[in-house]
Structure 1
Amino acid sequence: MADDWHNLQADDLDNTLDTFTSLISIPQSVLCGYGSREGDNTFGVIQDSETIRVVAPDTEPASQYTDNDADPTNTAQTASAEDTDMAQNAADTAPTEHHNLPLEYRTSIWELSSKHADTLLRIVQSIGSTSTALSLRFIVNNFRNFTGLDKDSARRIGIARTSTERLAAIDDLTACMAHFSLARRMHIYMLFKEAVASESLRDGFPDAQDPFIVESGTPSILPRGNPTYRQSATIAQSMMLPGRSLAGAKRLRRVGQRLDMLVQRFDPGVLALLDENLSHEAILKVPDQIFDEFLTIIDHFEGDRIRLISKLAYPVVNMLLQDDDDSIFIPTLRLERLPDYITSDEVPRCSLAFAKLLLPQTELSAHDNTQDDTPMGW
């Protein structure tokens, strides 16, 4: 299985990323770099414009924690032996659909929060799921044919829009078929990012002077209260339509913030990897601190895998963002010829088979017979 991935990465993905780069305007910050070490094929992930981290696909990711930090995957630090046994038993008796995840992966999630473990496991399963591949096929096919996606709200998402226009687009897509969930999530994400940028420029967040510190002889003219809470409230208000409830705006802000957390961890293409059936209620059900630690667990076990597939999925996101039809041409993807029904055995979540579907039809001709029946992929 590792050899299949090495062949794919060395022979095809490198050329494919070059092809995508030449055909589509992909920001440098989200491109994936590929390299090799002596005796091994490896893939790298560009974290920023200057730093490249290279990880071998068949090696265990290194821990991201210092000796003084609490590593959620280290059971000696997070729970007693009895608690660990209980978490392992709970993970081992979890619903069958979760058993394609390693026991250690499931145990780490149960140790983090037994109360929210079922929700967290559902979120994991929604990233790069089998049904997501079918949804992407629908979106790309309809975008090319200008049918189904003829709504302006589902296209050119990246163009400048007022908050009122973007909220109207979100409402418009809410009433449509479930396959518009990607466009709707992208509008929510863009609305949140635009609101944050607007408030940062207007109020100087997050670099404004600490409102709890008053220089001698200087009157305090900044608003009182916790600056983080105050900023969150201001952002929510800027995401609210006149006459609408503030509670609904706060909910949109939290959804946008969590989508942004996913993007920060796994790159913008991850928005295209979320199952259309993943509800906002599920995303918001988990407290903020637990959700952040949960993303750290995902990153530890399969972060590089998700980032790689996310980069391959970015052209689909870019296709919906662009405002110039002439600039969004992408080659025919393998997923566009998927049948109407596929099983999780044929395309397991976050697998080699899933990644191949995001490559052009002309790629992988030498690997068409490669089988990938391993649930975790590679």
Structure 2
Amino acid sequence: MFKSQQRIPDEYILMSEQERDERIRAIKAKLGPKLVILGHHYQRDEVIQHADYRGDSLKLAQLAAQEKEAEYIVFCGVHFMAETADMLTASKQKVILPDLGAGCPMADMAEIEEVEECWKLLKAKYNQEIIPVTYVNSDAEVKAFCGRNNGMTCTSSNALKIFKKLLGEGKSILFMPDEHLGRNTGLEWGLGEQDILLWNRKNPGEVKLPETAPRLILWDGFCTVHQRFEPQQVDEVREKYPDVKVIVHPECSHDVVERADLSGSTDFIIRQVTGSPAGSVWAIGTEINLVHRLAQENPDKTIISLNENVCMCVMMNRISQPHLLWTLENILKGKIVNQIKVEEKITAEAISALNRMLDISK
């Protein structure tokens, strides 16, 4: 679904940040309600300051769908997020990704051909009901696969509710693409390690399938940012800050989550930190732009990254101020660059997966 990336003119790179800021604000004022800019929490400050909405991927797509007057929805995030926004918004609305190179390595770890091969092998082996569940951090084709196979999507906020429903009914789950969110959620529900099978996406023939379907089959994908947090970092930060609260994202490995005080979605992390009393000390295991922003917006607290070496989402950071301005100036000229458009059939099947999730999450 990726198109070739257009190279932005050098003038946008050479321009001062102040001039870019002024030109972006002028375009926003001129387009008014016709334009909505969405900014994921992991975006750099130079971009997020221009966002009309901040949030996680699904929340932003849902907010975009409510903006009925908006003709242009500029998603400062990554490719799968813009896909979701396109699927949820009206056909007359145009969803634009300022840099087509902004992908997601974890989403890319679940290629549709590999998913379909896995499903074929599982269905041939087992008579038990297996439900495919994909994290919303996946591409539209994988969401559509879940939709047409009686499956659904989930978020890091509602994964436990989805697992409670399906596992509580005695069903098995094929969970994609993040191994760690799946394992953390399964163990929190009450599964044991013996109930969990890790799929090998590149060498499925090496997976030893037991006679009875495992309760939880995990795709072997991961977030390259959250993979960099390690258990010893929790121990080290506790030695340095005796009163510290450690909070991490559930895309971290289970041994990190186990050592932390709290784990939860990006929104959960924000609420916990901002709602804590003055003088609180927090070490956060998530993307560094969000950690820095929380520190700036909560000067009465000590807020640091769990990993002192910068944990940046490189793909998210491809969305730069020059790309944003270039995108907006093209809109003013009547030229749409980097539009994200999902096929109607894939959209319909993916929406089925999203709606099943929403029905359970009510």
Name the TM tier (shorter chain).
Answer: under 0.3
TM-score, length-normalised on structure 2?
A: 0.24
More helix by share: 1
